Amino acid sequence: MTSIPATMTAIGIASPGGPEMLVPQERPVPQPGVGEILVKVAAAGVNRPDVIQRKGLYPPPPGVTDIPGLEIAGTVVACGPGVGRWRDGDEVTALVSGGGYAQYCIAHESHALPIPRGLTAAESAAVPETFLTVWHNVFERGGLRAGETLLVHGGSSGIGTVAIQLAKAFGARVVTTAGSAEKCDACRRLGADVAVNYRTEDFVPLTKGATGGAGADVILDMVGGDYIERNYEAAAVEGRIVQIAFQGSPRANVDFRRIMLKRLHHTGSTLRSRSVADKAAIALAVERNAWPLIAAGTVRPVMDKIFPYRNAADAHVRMESGVHIGKIVLEM
């Protein structure tokens, strides 16, 4: 039996604001409830939504801890009533609704998966948020199929690096956008067929050019604003556009006639607010479809930098600087 202390160190948000608001705090170790496991955290992924939460613009859902952190890897140290899959000592990676920036964190048992074969704890912690988001939005919502073209904006982001690799692994062609020549090179090394430096080039004609004029079948967009109308232009007939964020504006002045003329579908989703059952179903699909690819070395999380968790503020500075390629991770 692992002895579990009463208190732990977590990284709290002192008050909404800059990275310096992320400070180590003494907190009670949470108790797993029905269907939940307590994980001794080895590493936690850093995601853009954590930055937005730190600024006070993305409050945790009701009943969820205010400690940031949406994904973890570590060891199960206690199981709540009704847990069937896991036992103390199991090594898991898990999607969590919050609380990842801490020595101990609660996960629903159905949102935990075994550490993928061949990955370190830090690499494993970089998997759940991006793989579940990409799987659900590109494949389940966007319905990407082999032989189709995916346009993914922000190809060098945590999300983008996974979208490129998974789309290629499933036989799609990939066009992507990124903000520098270095980032475009990184996207090509991951398999992107075309990488567009959005600061100097227009992705609409380049997407058309890469598809014989047809356009992209699926577009994964995290930008919004004027990209919405340009996505409609870059989309193929019957194209599916999936919105996962608005790094630009959530408002746009759009000519919607293209939706009729091209029979487009524009949808979107956000993972954190989904029901326990929804997230469990996505996690299961990811385990079935992506875990074998990770074990085979076909797909891997792209690691940018690992920080000690007490330096979470530095990790957020790096993410906000936009220099990173792939995932930033905290190690306990």
Ligand X SMILES: NC(=O)c1ccc[n+]([C@@H]2O[C@H](COP(=O)([O-])OP(=O)(O)OC[C@H]3O[C@@H](n4cnc5c(N)ncnc54)[C@H](OP(=O)(O)O)[C@@H]3O)[C@@H](O)[C@H]2O)c1
Helix axes 227-234, 203-210, angle to 10 degrees: 20
Which of 85, 179, 208, 259 lies at the binding interface for ligand X (CB under 6 A)?
A: 179
Q: How far is the CB of 66 from ligand X (least distance, A)?
A: 18
| C-alpha distances out from residue 317 to 48, 56, 202, 223, 307, Å | 11, 16, 29, 20, 11
Token representation of residue 167? 């789309």
- For ligand X, the closer of residues 104 and 135 by Cβ is 135
Residue numbers 156-175 binding ligand X by CB under 6 A: 156-160
Question: Does residue 71 bind ligand X (CB under 6 A)?
Answer: no
Each residue 259-298 as x (binds ligand X by CB under 6 A) or -, in order, gives ----------xxx---------------------------
Residue numbers 219-238 binding ligand X by CB under 6 A: 222-223
- Do the Cβ atoms of 326 and 182 come closer than 8 Å? no
Each residue 105-144 as x (binds ligand X by CB under 6 A) or -, in order, gives ------------------------x---x-----------
Q: Give φ, ψ of 275 to 5 degrees.
A: -70, 160
Q: How far is the CB of 40 from ligand X (least distance, A)?
A: 24
Residue pointed to by tokens 């890469």: 210
Which of 54, 168, 183, 300 lies at the binding interface for ligand X (CB under 6 A)?
A: 183
How many chain residues bind ligand X (CB under 6 A)?
Answer: 27
Q: How far is the CB of 328 from ligand X (least distance, A)?
A: 8
Q: How far is the CB of 28 from ligand X (least distance, A)?
A: 28
Token representation of residue 48? 């853009």
Question: Does residue 60 bind ligand X (CB under 6 A)?
Answer: no
Residue numbers 311-330 binding ligand X by CB under 6 A: 319, 322
According to DSSP, the β-strands at 91-95 and 71-79 are antiparallel
Residues that bind ligand X (CB under 6 A): 47-49, 129, 133, 153-154, 156-160, 177-179, 183, 198, 222-223, 244-245, 247, 269-271, 319, 322
